[in-house]
Amino acid sequence: MRAEPVLPSGFTLIEKDSVGSTNDEARALADSGAADGTLVWAQEQTAGRGRRGRAWLSPRGNLYCSMVLRPEVPAAEAAQLSFVAALALGDALGGFVDPAHIGFKWPNDVQVRGAKVAGILLESSGVAAAHVEWLVVGCGVNVALHPAGVDRPATDLRAEGAADATVEAVLEAYTRHFDGWRERWRQDGIAPVRAAWLARAVGIGEAITVRLPETELHGKFVDMDETGALILDLADGERRAISAGDVFLATELEHAAGH
């Protein structure tokens, strides 16, 4: 028998064996009044998804969880919790692999040595002007397995030498660090979160490609602003703030070309 994860006070764990998507489960719970801190954890997802509805392969052996939050702030501020979650994952995974190898890829990926190890998906009640009623923060962490033959490099904790990494241990560390970072965000706002995220950001100062629904931009990734937007300097001297898009580093484009 494996030990049940021990989560910080304020979290209520709902464990599932197999679900379509932990985010869908958490959204349904949120709609029915689930409290802040309700966390859905599944051993596998049969219909996991990432940003923009992309499929997220979800075999047993990795971490899939989604938490219900009720931050009582406007939607723009609530979206900052994706960066809180990234910092929490980065600190959690730094207990299993060399923290110096961990990087954050805008907007919502965590990498180890340039390969994706975790992703974050935020969904909300959709109220834009007033306070959001609820927010769901989903994350998937490659603990023991990672997809092969994908268009961008991927890895998992075991492949990076973390032989002692378990799903339960990663979940415990993630929630503990999330608790700490969310409290700091509540007290001090986005500034310390942004600074800590930028300190580990991949691609800063480098040429990148940003794919948008209608176009593709090429420029230098120079900053992330207070709203969480990526700041891109284009070759013609124009500076653009990108609030949503797919970022490709030069190394990722080379990797994709080989697949």
**Domain with 104 in it: what CATH number?**
3.30.930.10
Query: What is the signed CA dihedral for 181, 133, 62, 153, rounded to 10 degrees?
Result: -80
Say if residue 112's pLDDT is above 70.
yes
Separation between Cα atoms, residue 26 and residue 30, nearest integer Å: 6
Question: Are 211 and 125 contained in the same domain?
Answer: no
Distance between CA atoms of 128 and 145, rounded to whole angstroms? 37
Structure tokens at 149: 């033959």
% of the chain exceeding 90 in pLDDT: 79
pLDDT of residue 255: 54
Residue 26 has a pLDDT of 98
Sequence-ordered list of residues with C-beta below 8 angstroms from that of 117, at least 6 positions apart, any chain? 93, 110, 111, 141, 142, 146, 154, 155, 156, 157, 160
pLDDT value at position 58? 80
| Domain around 235 | 207-257
Which residue, among 77, 29, 79, 12, has the nearest Cα to 51 in the 3D structure? 79
In-domain check, residue 7 = no
Strand partners, 169: none
Domain total for the chain?
2
Same domain, 221 and 193: no
Confidence of residue 129 (pLDDT cuts 50, 70, 90): low
**Using one digit for the tens of pLDDT, what is the confidence trace for 185-224?**
999 999 999 999 999 999 999 999 999 988 999 999 999 9
List the beta bridge partners of residue 44: 18
Residues 6 or more apart whose Cβ sits within 8 Å of residue 116: 105, 109, 110, 142, 146, 152, 153, 154, 155
Please give the torsion angle defined by the CA atoms of residues 248, 254, 258 and 259, in that order, rounded to the nearest 10 degrees: -10
Distance between CA 43 and CA 47 in Å, rounded?
13
pTM of the model: 0.93
Boundary-marking domain end, from 162, 177, 199: 199
Give the end of a domain, one of 153, 183, 199: 199
Question: Mean pLDDT across the stretch 73-79?
Answer: 89
pLDDT of 238 strictly over 80 = yes
Q: Is 141 in the same domain as 230?
A: no
User: Cis ω on the peptide bond leading into residue 147 (within 30° of 0)?
Assistant: no
Tell whether 89 and 136 lie within a shared domain. Answer: yes
Q: Is the dihedral of CA 94, 97, 101, 106 positive or negative?
A: negative
User: What is the CATH number for 236?
Assistant: 2.30.30.100
Structural domain includes residue 75: yes
Greater model confidence, 152 or 104: 104
In the beta sheet, which residues pair with residue 138?
66, 121
Indicate whether 195 and 218 sit together in one domain: no
* Distance (Å, whole) CA 227 – CA 215: 22
Cβ-based neighbours of 17, under 8 Å, separated by 6 or more = 42, 43, 44
Residue 186 and residue 218 in one domain:
no
31: Cβ contacts below 8 Å, ≥ 6 apart = 134
- The predicted-structure confidence for 32-69, as pLDDT tens digits, reads as follows 999 999 999 999 998 876 655 566 668 899 999 999 99
How far apart are the C-alpha atoms of 238 and 208, rounded to whole Å? 15
pLDDT at position 54: 64
Give pLDDT tens digits for 137-177.
999 999 999 988 777 899 999 999 999 899 999 999 999 99
